[in-house]
Amino acid sequence: MREGYEGTGPGGITPDGCAVDLYARMPARDEPDIIEAAVPAGARILELGSGAGRMTHPLLARGFRVTAVDESAGMLQHISGAPGARTVQSPIEALDLGETFDVVLLASFLVHAGDPKVREGILAACRRHVSDDGCVLIQRETPGFHTDVPRERVDPAGYTLRIVSATPVGDGVDSIRAEYVWPDVTWTQTFLSRELSVAEFERYLGDAGLVVDRYLTEDGMWVRARARARVRSVR
């Protein structure tokens, strides 16, 4: 388990506290629509932190080819063998496939990693694997993520997601406790998250050689970035 991360509930738990059976059960929401609208049809996607394929499977069904990366073998088991999919078990920070992709997908707020070294390693992996004319799609927290607590959302899939607490643990990092309450089972995840202003987010991207191309959603949650060299060569 990564330090500061914890998960409870039945089945396997990943090093960042995610429950494998929970992610295998949860359907995608609007993520595949947002991704499909932002990238070329049939693109080769490198999905970092794919989990059990909640987004991978709908993307495959829409004709994308997906290389799914996760440090959890238990998560990847739910993807391996799907037509058009390749799975790679690795920490994102250590990933070096020696190839580039049309799209690198970094969802699930992984850019908010509590440890700066992990964030830097993750963004470096994005830069390393995006082609010169490709893009990196990043999912960010929206305002209120750390302050509008406690809060809950009833999902049409039949569960309630509660963000129970956000407890400062120092250095601008909060320990977030989430509960996923289903009629038959409850899973919890505790994880570290660093709130990032837009300026900080864009600076960290810049440090990794990436630059924001466009905020894709009005709430600023989804961002398309490109390699900085590519932007320079276009101007």
Ligand X SMILES: C[S@@+](CC[C@H](N)C(=O)[O-])C[C@H]1O[C@@H](n2cnc3c(N)ncnc32)[C@H](O)[C@@H]1O
Site residues (CB under 6 A) for ligand X? 14, 16, 18, 23, 49-51, 54-55, 70-72, 75, 91-93, 107-108, 110, 118
Shortest approach of ligand X to residue 2 CB, angstroms? 8
Length of the chain (residues): 235
Shortest approach of ligand X to residue 18 CB, angstroms? 4
Q: Which secondary structure element, helix H or strand E, spans residue 85, and what is its range?
A: strand 85-89
How far is residue 225's CA from residue 181's CA, in Å, rounded to a whole number? 34
Shortest approach of ligand X to residue 233 CB, angstroms? 31
Output 45 or 230, the one with its CB closest to ligand X.
45
How far is residue 47's CA from residue 64's CA, in Å, rounded to a whole number? 11
How far is residue 70's CA from residue 76's CA, in Å, rounded to a whole number? 7
How far is residue 4's CA from residue 1's CA, in Å, rounded to a whole number? 8
Output 92 or 227, the one with its CB closest to ligand X.
92
**DSSP category for residue 40:** -
Output 50 or 188, the one with its CB closest to ligand X.
50
Shortest approach of ligand X to residue 232 CB, angstroms? 29
Q: Which residue has the tokens 């509660």?
A: 162
Shortest approach of ligand X to residue 73 CB, angstroms? 10
Output 67 or 108, the one with its CB closest to ligand X.
108
Shortest approach of ligand X to residue 107 CB, angstroms? 5
In the structure, how many helices (H) and strands (E) does the chain have? 7, 12
Mutual orientation of helices 116-129 and 198-207 as an angle, nearest 10°?
A: 60
Output 110 or 176, the one with its CB closest to ligand X.
110
Output 35 or 230, the one with its CB closest to ligand X.
35
φ/ψ of residue 102, rounded to 5: -65, -35
**DSSP category for residue 141:** P
